[in-house]
């Protein structure tokens, strides 16, 4: 490979020279095309960390590149000299679907590492429970808890919905209201709340131009994680009732545990990236005004609407 350019630029040139499109690779490997674009752009920080090398291996197989050489280039580029796990050796084809459903794979971990990770995870879980209890007490009874107590988790309560809309089909049962656990905004770039109003008329049935439905087999609980390639506005709906719109910035990721149907409206759906329990969400051909609808069973729908006149 040309040492004057990053290795991922050489990979893209090799692909283009053979007339292979990213859509071809995505169709054969079942890897989301947005992740393939990130590989070729060297945007490794936005890729699922566990699957970077697995995605890269599958990509190399499709364009006829030497994976071992590319893997060493990746390690050098990321500043990590550790050798690759033995599971990446050999010529077997990667089962991306099984890999995605597995979440964070334990194939390359030793028993000691697994025990350590289990203990670390248990400590984090207990800490989050304690912090959540104190945060709830501070919210309900502020005079009983010192003002200096930190809160690491923010919850939003949704009200019951009246009537179903395009994004909320009539056959969906109305479960009780729930609380959405949202990851804290560690690097606020713009205010959390937004004054932008996304009117219902913009999302009427007659304006619908794109629709995609996917059923993903997941083990509950289903967790939705969303990121964005630019600062955008999201307006959540739960039980058909709109909550306060907020800004999703490039510096943060938002996560919901889906216990009932969740609908998110946005004027920039094509900028979203996300996954359900590690399985990438395909936003299809929807651009501009759009809706993402997710159910507790792992079914998601993406709706695209015509731009306002």
Q: What are the pLDDT digits (tens) for 278-302?
A: 999 999 889 999 999 999 988 999 9
Determine if the pTM surpasses 0.75: no
Same domain, 168 and 264: yes
Q: Of 224, 243, 223, 241, which is closest to residue 233 (Cα–Cα)?
A: 243
Q: Of 253, 245, 300, 296, which is closest to residue 272 (Cα–Cα)?
A: 253
Same domain, 171 and 230: yes
Please tell me the distance from the alpha carbon of residue 55 to that of residue 35, in angstroms, as a whole number.
8
Answer whether residue 187 is part of any domain: yes
Answer whether residue 2 is part of any domain: no
- Would the pLDDT of 160 be above 90? no
Same domain, 164 and 292: yes
Q: Of 166, 158, 242, 244, which is closest to residue 201 (Cα–Cα)?
A: 166
Range of the domain at 170: 157-305
Residues 43-80: tens digit of each pLDDT: 988 888 788 889 999 999 999 999 999 899 888 888 75
50-59, 93-102, 216-225, 231-240: least confidently modelled range:
93-102
Same domain, 233 and 117: no
170-201 burial string, b = 16+ CB within 10 Å, else e?
eeeeeeeebebebeebeeeeeeeebeeebeee
Please tell me the distance from the alpha carbon of residue 37 to that of residue 22, in angstroms, as a whole number.
8
Same domain, 205 and 81: no
Same domain, 80 and 178: no
Residues 185-194: tens digit of each pLDDT: 434 344 455 5
Answer whether residue 194 is part of any domain: yes
Answer whether residue 106 is part of any domain: no
pLDDT at site 145: 40
Answer whether residue 300 is part of any domain: yes
Answer whether residue 150 is part of any domain: no
Looking at the structure of the chain, the number of domains it has is 3
Same domain, 164 and 256: yes
Same domain, 11 and 126: no
Same domain, 211 and 84: no
Q: Using an 8 Å Cβ cutoff, are 240 and 165 in contact?
A: yes
Please tell me the distance from the alpha carbon of residue 280 to that of residue 273, in angstroms, as a whole number.
8
**Token pair of 59, please?**
């990509």
């Amino acid at each position: 490979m040309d040492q004057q350019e990053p290795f991922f630029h050489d990979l893209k040139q090799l692909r283009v020279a053979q007339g292979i499109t990213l859509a071809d690779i995505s169709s054969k490997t079942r890897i989301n095309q947005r992740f393939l674009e990130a590989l070729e752009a060297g945007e490794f920080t936005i890729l699922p960390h566990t699957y970077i090398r697995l995605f890269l291996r599958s990509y190399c197989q499709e364009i006829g590149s030497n994976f071992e050489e590319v893997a060493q280039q990746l390690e050098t580029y990321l500043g990590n000299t550790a050798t690759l796990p033995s599971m990446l050796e050999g010529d077997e084809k990667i089962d991306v679907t099984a890999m995605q459903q597995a979440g964070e794979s334990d194939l390359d971990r030793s028993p000691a590492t697994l025990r350590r990770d289990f203990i670390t995870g248990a400590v984090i879980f207990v800490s989050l429970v304690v912090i959540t209890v104190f945060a709830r007490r501070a919210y309900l009874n502020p005079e009983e808890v010192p003002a200096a107590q930190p809160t690491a988790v923010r919850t939003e309560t949704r009200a019951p919905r009246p009537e179903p809309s395009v994004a909320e089909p009539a056959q969906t049962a109305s479960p009780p209201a729930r609380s959405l656990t949202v990851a804290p905004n560690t690097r606020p770039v713009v205010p959390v709340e937004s004054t932008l109003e996304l009117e219902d008329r913009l999302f009427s049935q007659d304006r619908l131009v794109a629709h995609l439905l996917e059923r993903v087999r997941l083990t509950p609980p289903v967790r939705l994680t969303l990121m964005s390639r630019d600062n955008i506005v999201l307006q959540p709906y739960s039980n058909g009732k709109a909550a306060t719109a907020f800004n999703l910035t490039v510096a943060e990721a938002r996560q919901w545990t889906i216990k009932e149907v969740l609908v998110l409206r946005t004027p920039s759906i094509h900028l979203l990236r996300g996954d359900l329990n590690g399985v990438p969400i395909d936003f299809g051909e929807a651009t501009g005004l759009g809706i993402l609808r997710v159910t507790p069973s792992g079914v998601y729908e993406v709706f695209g609407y015509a731009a306002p006149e």
